[in-house]
């Protein structure tokens, strides 16, 4: 009977110890859910980032010029559409307010680089008037945006 008593009391005590250990808080941090959430967010942003670049549809003239190298600062773009409207980035701007708005933008920017996108059907005179306005606004580094694949004028074709 003594041996049976010892087994019973020893077995009950062991269960109590396990219960106490299970009720203690765990000191380790489980980062698996955190990593899972971060990977999902990374994939979402990788897919969504190319969709965020919004442009205005313009039929650009084709030239043999190569693309300009990129900068750290987002390039400022002025777009001249075939119907005569002018946009700074994606904001439509009347011609008479163009110089004032560009001067305010130039005061806040580090770079004097600006890109001019003009529809190929716009008369040359109108494009040069807007280029003069860009220069008068403080942007001396004007890049004309074109599509590639145009004539090379050296007889080598397209």
Q: How confident is residue 136, by pLDDT bands cut at 50, 70 and 90? A: confident
| CA pair distance 129, 116, nearest whole angstrom | 12
| pLDDT tens-digit readout, 71-122 | 566 778 899 988 888 988 888 888 888 888 888 888 888 878 888 998 888 8
What is residue 35's predicted lDDT score, i.e. its pLDDT? 94
| CA pair distance 146, 104, nearest whole angstrom | 27
What is residue 70's predicted lDDT score, i.e. its pLDDT? 57
| Sheet with 141-144, edge to edge strand ranges | 91-93, 86-88, 76-80, 113-118, 141-144
Average pLDDT over residues 9-31: 64
| CA pair distance 47, 27, nearest whole angstrom | 37
pTM: predicted TM-score of the whole model, two decimal places? 0.53
Please give the residue that has the higher pLDDT: either 69 or 151: 151
For 55-107, the DSSP string reads: -----PPEESPPPPPP-SSPPEEEEE-TTS-EEETTEEE-GGGHHHHHHHHHH
| CA pair distance 114, 100, nearest whole angstrom | 15
What is residue 38's predicted lDDT score, i.e. its pLDDT? 95
| pLDDT tens-digit readout, 37-72 | 999 999 999 988 877 766 667 777 877 777 666 556
What is residue 22's predicted lDDT score, i.e. its pLDDT? 62
Kindly state the tokens that stand for 60: 């650009």
């Amino acid at each position: 009977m003594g041996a049976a008593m010892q087994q019973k009391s020893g077995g009950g005590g062991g269960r109590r110890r396990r219960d106490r250990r299970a009720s203690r808080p765990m000191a380790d941090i489980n980062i698996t859910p955190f990593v899972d959430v971060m990977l999902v967010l990374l994939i979402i942003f990788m897919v969504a980032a190319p969709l965020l670049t919004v442009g205005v549809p313009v039929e650009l003239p084709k030239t043999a010029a190569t693309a300009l190298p990129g900068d750290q600062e987002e390039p400022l773009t002025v777009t001249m559409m075939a119907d005569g409207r002018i946009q700074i980035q994606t904001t439509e701007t009347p011609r008479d307010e163009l110089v004032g708005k560009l001067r305010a933008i130039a005061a806040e920017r580090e770079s004097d680089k600006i890109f001019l996108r003009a529809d190929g059907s716009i008369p040359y005179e109108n494009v040069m008037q807007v280029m003069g306005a860009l220069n008068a606004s403080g942007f001396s580094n004007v890049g004309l945006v074109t599509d590639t694949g145009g004539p090379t004028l050296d007889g080598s074709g397209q």
